[in-house]
Amino acid sequence: MQTIERERRLTSNQKFMVLMLSMTIFGLADLVTQILPELSIGFIEIRVPYFAFIAITLAILFDPFTVAIGSAFGAVIFGGLLMGNFGGVGEIEGFLQLSVAIFLGGMAVSNPLNKVQVFIASCITVGFDKLVGGLVDVAKVLIGLEGLEPVSGLPESIFIIQGVEFLNDFILAGIIFGALPAMYLVPKLYGKIEPLLGMKPRKEMPKMEWSKILNVKVILVSIILGLISAGAAFLSEMDINIIEFELGFEELLGGKFIYVAIIISAVLLFGIWRYCTSKRKESTN
């Protein structure tokens, strides 16, 4: 049985539109998460890392690979560069983790109307991203690249801290702001949003073929990219960075510059959406 991606091929122009849309939407959402309140209870920090449902919904409805790259770029460009920050080599870690995670999640869905598959896709995306990130952080501490403030009464505090952080991120990003909204949005938008960009909806497939999703090639590539991600994180911790800067835009306008960035992103998103829909109209004429 063929996978959906092989039955529906996107043109280079359509992939470009999906790339720009996913980059702008996810980037705008990343800025919004930065103004959400955070809650600290002891060593536990409760926060929303990102709105996973946006990337999951787009990856399922459109093309997982293109959306994965676009979303990861959006986090770097809008959440970092637009705010005057760039982590240099350290940005590679987050970029690779997030892009691979979104790709795996999008590939896990063969039937967009199957809410169970959508739920699993969200869990895969956030689970992979945060698990790899947590393991890298543990490795940094164990090899002495990053310090740790021990928690009183917890002998293995690094594992406890990372475990709690993973659980927090998984529940908030993976389920509350991931699976639940995506399970509603994907069936609602399926067959309605694709034609706006001149695309055919992904065909429904009755059975999810895990052998084609988690094959040897995908697993090996994921492991290699994970190692590259870890290597970039280690280089960053050792202050081996290239083109790293912090312009401090956050302090402009009394710390309110992020709202300006959100407005700029929203205007840019509107412009890109208008461009995409106009290109679709041109292609149909």
Phi-psi region of 255 (alpha: psi -120 to 50; beta: other; left: phi over 0): left
Per-residue pLDDT, 5 = 42
Per-residue pLDDT, 60 = 93
| Residue 58 token pair | 């787009």
Per-residue pLDDT, 110 = 84
What is the pLDDT tens value at each position of the chain, 285 positions in all?
334 443 457 788 888 889 999 999 999 999 899 888 888 776 677 888 899 999 999 999 998 999 999 999 998 888 778 877 766 666 777 888 899 899 989 988 888 999 999 999 999 999 999 998 888 777 777 775 455 555 554 445 777 778 888 999 999 999 999 999 999 999 999 988 888 888 888 775 545 555 555 566 766 776 776 677 666 666 656 666 666 656 666 666 666 778 888 898 899 888 888 877 776 666 555
Per-residue pLDDT, 120 = 95
Residues 6+ apart with CB under 8 A from 192: none
Per-residue pLDDT, 173 = 92
Per-residue pLDDT, 1 = 33
Per-residue pLDDT, 61 = 93
Per-residue pLDDT, 122 = 95
Per-residue pLDDT, 206 = 45
Per-residue pLDDT, 157 = 72
| Residue 32 token pair | 């919004």
Q: What pTM did the predictor assign?
A: 0.81
Q: What angle do helix axes 12-34 and 52-61 make, rounded to 10 degrees?
A: 170
> Which has the closest alpha carbon to 242: 250, 232, 229?
232
